[in-house]
Structure 1
Amino acid sequence: MPDQRDPAPYDALLLLSFGGPEGPEDVVPFLENVTRGRGIPKERLKEVGQHYFLFGGVSPINDQCRALLAALREDFAAAGLDLPVYWGNRNWAPYLTDTLREMVRDGRRRIAVLATSAYASYSGCRQYRENLADALAALEAEGLPLPKVDKLRHYFNHPGFVEPMVEGVLSSLAELDEPVRAGAHLAFTTHSIPDSAADTSGPVGEHGEGGAYVRQHLDVARLIAGAVRERTGVDHPWKLVYQSRSGAPHVPWLEPDICDHLEELHEAGAPAAVMVPIGFVSDHMEVLYDLDTEATAKAAELGLPVRRSATVGADPRFAAAVRDLLLERAATERGAAVERCALGALGPSHDLCPVGCCPARAKRPAAAGADSPYA
């Protein structure tokens, strides 16, 4: 383990997330931010926003980031780690550029960045790096000194991310009636993305069918299923499935969809299922609507008993994992040899995204990578 109290050379941590509306009047402007440049009419955005309006126009993601922010600060303080933690979003207040500006004015010059996305993909990694580059360019145009930003590595297989999900599955299985519990299937879910984005996810050497995105999710699913088997003595059948598709029907996206999978389970005589949202750090809208509302309704229609296990959220073990990732990277930057914590077959991910990693849809600068214009 790295030194538990030495964050040097870093003088701040930035929690970087997606953002979400916090009232009905925010929904369409938020969706305009998310879809900017795609030419989607406002009327179509109002239709898409119905998911948010069902919940009063409020996405839970910002409150969940506030909870994680508090958990990180509490963990850091308890560990004797004197490092300020800031929060910025890609698509809603507090906006990333505003937060970086605040950090610079507070004198922060070397910033570690934790993105609330655990896996490799364009939308889960490089797009955050592009947003960082955009924010740095804005500060540069204002004549402000530019901080050096380093994005912490992917943490999909860190014990502090995996273990809370294992316990979530065990709790969900315990909620099922005993006659169906042992035969319950595990449906590991993540956000569907275009096949082309999946195939080019991760470093160039990992490109191919499904790329790093699918490979990493499968590794986590095996870890959780194996841990459940060890603790219960039951080998639950499982499958990696997808949700929250949003693209044009003619464009191939990762399948099967969770609702289609529930139908297949029912037709095959499965007695019950547990939906395990391994692709999501917290219970934001894709979890609340696509799983808790839509998929749960489909299961009820089929008469298939189903439960949805918890995401990691602000679990103290996840906060401790973030501290571990930060101090690991800090020690590496100081030139120290560090044993990196990772479970499963894939090992710890890279610190610096190499050239060609999760390539952009269109050529845009991205910070915190080997191709960054901001050294």
Structure 2
Amino acid sequence: MSDAVLLLAHGTPNTLGEMAEYLDKVTGGRAVPAEVVEELQHRYALIGLRETAGAEPPPLTKWTLAQGQLLGRLFFDNGLKTKVYVAMRNWHPYIADVVAQMRQDGVTRFRAICLAPQNSRTSVGLYRKATLAAAEGMEVEFVAGWAEHPLLIEAFAEKLRTVWKVACDELGKRVPVLFTAHSVPTRTVTGDAPDPYPIEAKRTAALVAECMKAAGLGEQDWRFAFQSQGVSGGPWIGPTVEETLGVLREEGHRGVVIQPVGFLCDHVEILYDIDIAFRQIADEMGLKLWRAESLNDSPLLTRALAELALGPYTAGVEVAPISARV
């Protein structure tokens, strides 16, 4: 077993004034137009980010740290000494800084788990590169993707069941479910070495839908779309959520339940893109929009992370439950 587990997340600024510096990290130093910085400051302000740091960190940081704490507590409760660390690629605490702390703590080998279940060169690949660079000389096992993990699927289904029943009861009929994941540039998934991301994202959605069959969700009751396309850098993959909402309205639907399956906790792509922007678009179309709660501190998610941490793990292969290992 590894000495430690490192959970990796995207990172988010703590204040509005840090937005330009944050975006510089995200883009790898490519210039970001001032209007884009201002628009993102506006969006983050709408979900609670302020000019000065508040008593509580922004949602992504808050929930990622909580996921690390819950995993550590699960290990402790089961008599395991494996320590859990959390690091961000684009903001504090940076991967390099956390790995340096791990060295000081005497960690010589660890398992890194990216809190983005679907593997992509634009996300997981960059986390892996940063982690291996920081951990030179240490033994690292990197979990590159876990889009089909049974506990992840059940965690999403658990959140979806509740809101889907509410929506169906309110409208008196089965309401379509729209699964989403973050879009990526089209160039990422084309070429000689296609990226697995869109396939894995759709596979996660299909497995959640399969899990929902017992609740009454049929094959025709769900769709998939990519959300949060970038504002620059060429075309991004679709279909978009906006396009799909229009199709659903044309088909005569009066409501939709959105469940983002590419995200594990609340952050701007959920709290703004879905809860504010998509809800406004849906309202203008005459659609009522519901959203499944994010996994955040889901016990099922914690158990999934524990199984990934205890290895050995190969993408697509279920790991023995924690109860069978302690």
Q: Tell me the residue number matched to 2:279.
A: 296
* Structure 1 residue 186 corresponds to structure 2 residue 185: no
Residue-by-residue CA offset, 1:310-331 (whole Å, 9 max, x unaligned) = 232221111111111122228x
Residue-by-residue CA offset, 1:21-77 (whole Å, 9 max, x unaligned) = 122232232222222321224554233332112233264100011110111011111
SS of equivalent residue, structure 2 residue 113: strand
SS of equivalent residue, structure 1 residue 178: helix
8 Å CA contact retained: 2:132, 2:140 = no
Q: Tell me the residue number matched to 1:341.
A: 318
Distance change >3 Å, CA 104–CA 32, structure 1 → 2: same
Distance change >3 Å, CA 44–CA 292, structure 1 → 2: closer
Q: Tell me the residue number matched to 1:119.
A: 118
Q: Tell me the residue number matched to 1:165.
A: 156
Deviation at 1:79, TM superposition (A): 2.1
* Structure 1 residue 149 corresponds to structure 2 residue 148: no
User: For 1:100-139, what aligned pairs fall within 5 Å after superposition?
Assistant: 100-136=99-135
8 Å CA contact retained: 1:21, 1:92 = yes
8 Å CA contact retained: 1:27, 1:52 = no
**RMSD of aligned alpha carbons:** 2.3
Where does structure 1 differ by over 4 angstroms across 4 or more consecutive aligned residues? 233-236
The whole-number CA distance in structure 1 between the counterparts of 2:198 and 2:117 is 12
Deviation at 1:177, TM superposition (A): 5.3
2:297 counterpart (314, 332, 336): 314
Residue-by-residue CA offset, 1:281-302 (whole Å, 9 max, x unaligned) = 1111111111111001111122
Report percent identity of matched pairs: 27
Aligned residues: 311
1:219 counterpart (200, 203, 210): 203
Aligned residue type for 1:277: P
Distance change >3 Å, CA 281–CA 164, structure 1 → 2: same
* Structure 1 residue 242 corresponds to structure 2 residue 226: yes
Aligned residue type for 1:321: A
The whole-number CA distance in structure 2 between the counterparts of 1:220 and 1:96 is 27
8 Å CA contact retained: 2:114, 2:144 = no
Tell me the TM-score normalised to structure 1 length: 0.77
* Structure 1 residue 327 corresponds to structure 2 residue 310: yes
Deviation at 1:220, TM superposition (A): 1.7
Deviates more, 1:157-166 or 1:28-37: 28-37
Residue-by-residue CA offset, 1:247-297 (whole Å, 9 max, x unaligned) = 437x23211211221122112101321101011111111111111110011
Distance change >3 Å, CA 200–CA 220, structure 1 → 2: farther
Tell me the TM-score normalised to structure 2 length: 0.88
Deviation at 1:234, TM superposition (A): 5.0
Q: Tell me the residue number matched to 1:57.
A: 49
Aligned residue type for 1:218: K
8 Å CA contact retained: 1:152, 1:329 = no
Aligned residue type for 2:317: R
8 Å CA contact retained: 2:205, 2:224 = yes
* Structure 1 residue 47 corresponds to structure 2 residue 39: yes
Please list every run of 5 or more consecutive structure 2 residues that lacks an aligned counterpart in the other structure. 51-57, 320-326
Deviation at 1:187, TM superposition (A): 0.7
The whole-number CA distance in structure 1 between the counterparts of 2:139 and 2:217 is 49
The whole-number CA distance in structure 1 between the counterparts of 2:41 and 2:258 is 24
Deviation at 1:165, TM superposition (A): 0.8
* Structure 1 residue 25 corresponds to structure 2 residue 8: no
2:257 counterpart (259, 271, 274): 274
The whole-number CA distance in structure 1 between the counterparts of 2:77 and 2:264 is 23
